[in-house]
Structures are given as structure tokens and as C-alpha cells.
Amino acid sequence: MITKDKIDEYIDKIPPTPKALKDTLSLLNDGQLIKASKIAQTDLALSKYLKNLVNKPIYGFSHEVKDISQIFGILGVSGSQQTVYNYMTTLLSPAKWLLFGLNTKSFHELQARLSKRWELILKHLDIEDKNLISSITILPASIIVSEALFSQKVEDVKLLRSTKNLDYNTILTRLCGMGLFDICEQITIKWEMPKEIGELIQASSGLKPSCDEQINLLAKWMHLLLFYELSQPIFVEAGLNDFVDFQVDFVSDIYDDFAKLMEIG
């Protein structure tokens, strides 16, 4: 149903990072927040996305924030970089969702919720690495990948889901030998993200643990966060529950800590 060639074709169609985004990310990587905000303002679509995202209730601002330099100032270097990567993920989004009951608004909501709670987790773990903060932005890409690859075979996929009770990652792996997280790792390469981000994404599936102790620990938290958010009513209704198989043994040692932190946040 889905060949390796189709997957390669999809990855090849992912547009290269636009110059304004590359320059913005480069400046953020150097810690030059003011210069980065000025470059970001030249991309109207990015500016609109930034305003829409940071003014969602989960960010907790009492007044609407409109100025890009102010937004970058509030988010800081790490938060700004994370938000720009979130925007890059939306460039892959379909104009109309066929498999999942999502739209632009609900997809942006998912991005915002994952981003803010991932920041909470890293703060809890005393980790300030901006690349690791940005890593969460790739998880929603796995949802877009699933939508794109299955969109021409929606009924077949739904039939497999109902008769075999398989998650989407398992369906894709069985059909072509490559899973969603493998493809997302290729996206991190396409976007020239650090190698450790691709390794973290792979490990977060719960199926390919890393040999690096810190990456493996972060992967456990990321795995739990994905399931926590996709179990929210809005995303269950969209058909995102059971998106990947929950690996209980993989996360059992941190589950209680995760649950307590989510109660706080």
C-alpha cells in the first residue's frame, strides 16, 4: 500500500528552510534575540503564526501580545527557537485533514500544549539546552506524516485500525518497513537540526531506546507527554488516541513523577 519510494518522495517534497527562517534560527543560536526578531518580522506568515500561538490561553498572557520583538523578549532565546521550529512544522500541514479530525486551530493548540509542558518537564529536570527544548516540535510532525502518507488510503487504514486494532506507527511499519519516528528523524536531517534531536525522537517511540543515558531519560518523558496530550478530549475526538503503542515498561520508572508534575502544571 505504501512503498519506500513513496516515503522518499514525501521527504524530498519537504521544502528547504526559507532564508528568513534560517537566518532567524542562526541568530537565535548565537543568542542575538533583537536581531532575530527583526529578521522574523520580514516573514509575514511567521509573524502571524507567532502572534496566534503565543496568545493562546496556555501561555497565560493577560493582554494580547502583537509585537514580534516583544514576543521574542518574553519567550527568550530557547522559547523563540522552539516556536520557530513549531512554525516550520506547520509548513508541512495539509490544507485539509482527511484522516484525523484536525484543523489549523486544533493543530496549533496541540503544538502549544506540547511546547509548554515540555518546557515544564525540562525545567523540572534542570535542563536548559535550547536544542532539547526545540526537540518537542518534531512530535507533531509525526502526525502530519501519518496524515500525508495515509490520505490516499484513508478507508483502508481505518479498516486496519478497526479489525486489527493497530496503531498508526505499527501499520506504517508493517506496510513499508519504516515507522513514523524514522521518517521524523529524516525531517530533522532535512532541517539541519542537531543529530541528538533525531536520536531523541527515535527513542521517544519507546521502541528504540538510546545508549545515551540522558537522551533515554528525556525520551521517556517525551513518550509520556505525547500520550498525556493525545488523551485529552479534543484530540481523542480527532482520532489521535492510540497514535502509537504505549510502552508501559519503558516509562514505568518515571510514571509517578510525571503524573505529579502534570498535576502541578
What distance, in Å, lies between the first and last C-alpha atoms of the chain? 42
Please check the confidence at residue 203 and state whether its pLDDT lies above 80.
yes
| Residue that the C-alpha cell 512530535 belongs to | 139
pLDDT at 66: 84
Determine the Cα–Cα distance for residues 36 and 157; give it in Å rounded to an integer. Answer: 43
Residue 67 pLDDT exceeds 80: yes
Task: Answer yes or no: is pLDDT of 218 > 90.
Answer: yes
CB 229 within 8 Å of CB 113 = yes
Say if residues 232 and 121 touch (Cβ distance below 8 Å).
no
| pLDDT at residue 151 in the model | 86
Q: How far apart are CA 114 and CA 59, in angstroms?
A: 12
pLDDT-derived band at 195 (thresholds 50, 70, 90) equals very high
Looking at residue 153, its pLDDT comes to 84
Which of 151-154's residues contact partners 24+ apart within 8 Å by CB, and which partners?
151/94, 151/98, 151/99, 153/1, 153/2, 154/98, 154/99
Mean of pLDDT values over 231-255: 92
Residues 19-32 have a mean pLDDT of: 90
Asked whether the whole model's pTM tops 0.75, one would answer yes
Average model confidence (pLDDT) across the chain: 89
**Phi and psi torsions of 18, nearest 5°:** -55, 150
Q: What are the grid coordinates assigned to 192, written together? A: 539541519
List, as one string, the DSSP characters of 24-64: HHHHHHTT-HHHHHHHHTT-HHHHHHHHHHHTSGGG--SS-
Tens digits of per-residue pLDDT, 140-183? 988 998 898 888 888 888 888 888 888 899 888 888 888 889 98
Q: Which of 52-66, 127-141, 225-239 bottoms out in mean pLDDT, i.e. has the lowest?
A: 52-66
- Cα 250 to its chain centre, rounded Å, is 20
Predicted local distance difference test score (pLDDT) of residue 1: 63
- Break the chain into its structural domains and give their ranges: 4-264
pLDDT at 227 over 90: yes
**Higher confidence at residue 19 or residue 222?**
222
Which pLDDT belongs to residue 265?
A: 64
What gap in Å lies between CA 205 and CA 46, rounded to an integer?
29
Number of H helices, E strands in the chain: 16, 0
pLDDT above 70 covers a percentage of the chain that reads 98
The model's confidence at residue 127, banded by pLDDT at 50, 70 and 90, is very high
Domain 4-264 of CATH type 1.10.3210.10: yes
User: Tell me: the pLDDT tens digits for 104-122?
Assistant: 989 989 998 999 999 999 9
Give the three-state DSSP class for 56.
Answer: coil
According to the model, what pLDDT value does residue 21 have? 87
